[in-house]
Amino acid sequence: MKFNILTIFPELITTFSKTGFIKRTISENIIDMNIVDIREYSDNIHKRVDDKTYGGGPGMVLQYPPIKSAIYNLKDRGHVIYLSPQGQTLTQEKLSSLSSFNQITFLCGRYEGIDQRVLDELVDEEISLGDYVISGGETGCMAIIEGITRLIPGAIDDLESVKQDSFQNGILDHPHYTRPDDIDGKKVPEVLSSGDHGRIAKWRKKQALGVTWIKRPELLKNVKLSKEDDKLLKEYIAEFKENEHK
Ligand code: SAM
Atom 10, ligand 1: residue with shortest CA distance: 110
Q: Ligand 1 pocket check: which of 108, 133, 135 to mutate, most ligand atoms within 8 Å of Cβ?
A: 133
User: What is the reported pLDDT for 240?
Assistant: 97
Residue closest to 147 by CA, chosen among 45, 22, 15: 22
Q: HEC string of 159-223?
A: HHHHHCCCCCCCCCCCCCCCCCCEECCEECCHHHHCCCHHHHHHHHHHHHHHHHHHHCHHHHHHC
**Where are the domains positioned within the chain?**
2-149, 165-244
Give the pTM: 0.96
Report whether CATH 1.10.1270.20 matches the domain 165-244: yes
What is the rounded CA–CA span in Å between residue 109 and residue 82?
Answer: 7
What is the rounded CA–CA span in Å between residue 32 and residue 23?
Answer: 10
Which residues line ligand 1 at a C-beta cut-off of 6 Å?
Answer: 83-86, 108-110, 112-113, 128-130, 132-137, 140
Half-sphere exposure for 104 (CA within 13 Å, toward CB): 24
User: What is the reported pLDDT for 152?
Assistant: 96
Q: Are the CB atoms for 123 and 105 separated by under 8 Å?
A: no
Chain centre distance of CA 189: 31
Q: Are the CB atoms for 108 and 5 separated by under 8 Å?
A: yes
CATH assignment, 2-149: 3.40.1280.10
Atom 9, ligand 1: residue with shortest CA distance: 135
Q: How far is the CA of 8 from the centre of ligand 1 (A)?
A: 14
User: What is the reported pLDDT for 149?
Assistant: 98
Residue closest to 62 by CA, chosen among 78, 83, 35: 83
User: What is the reported pLDDT for 135?
Assistant: 98
Q: How far is the CA of 81 from the centre of ligand 1 (A)?
A: 13
User: What is the reported pLDDT for 163?
Assistant: 87
What is the rounded CA–CA span in Å between residue 16 and residue 133?
Answer: 21
Query: Which atom of ligand 1 is the closest one to the Cα of 127?
Result: 25
Q: How far is the CA of 89 from the centre of ligand 1 (A)?
A: 12
Residue 43: CB atoms within 10 Å: 11
Output 202-206 pairs: Cβ under 8 A, ≥24 positions apart. 202/232, 203/174, 204/164, 204/174, 205/174, 205/229, 205/232, 206/232, 206/233, 206/235, 206/236
Q: Are the CB atoms for 144 and 107 separated by under 8 Å?
A: no
Question: How does pLDDT run across 51-102, given as a tens digit for each residue?
Answer: 999 999 999 999 999 999 999 999 999 999 999 999 999 999 999 999 999 9
Active-site residues: which are they?
Answer: 85, 112, 150, 165
Q: How far is the CA of 246 from the centre of ligand 1 (A)?
A: 48
User: Pairing state of beta strands 182-183 and 186-187?
Assistant: antiparallel
Question: How does pLDDT run across 164-217, given as a tens digit for each residue?
Answer: 899 999 999 999 999 999 999 999 999 999 999 999 999 999 999 999 999 999
User: What is the reported pLDDT for 159?
Assistant: 80
What is the rounded CA–CA span in Å between residue 211 and residue 161?
Answer: 18
Q: How far is the CA of 99 from the centre of ligand 1 (A)?
A: 23
Radius of gyration for the chain, computed over Cα atoms and rounded to the nearest angstrom? 23
Query: Which atom of ligand 1 is the closest one to the Cα of 140?
Result: 25
Half-sphere exposure for 198 (CA within 13 Å, toward CB): 0
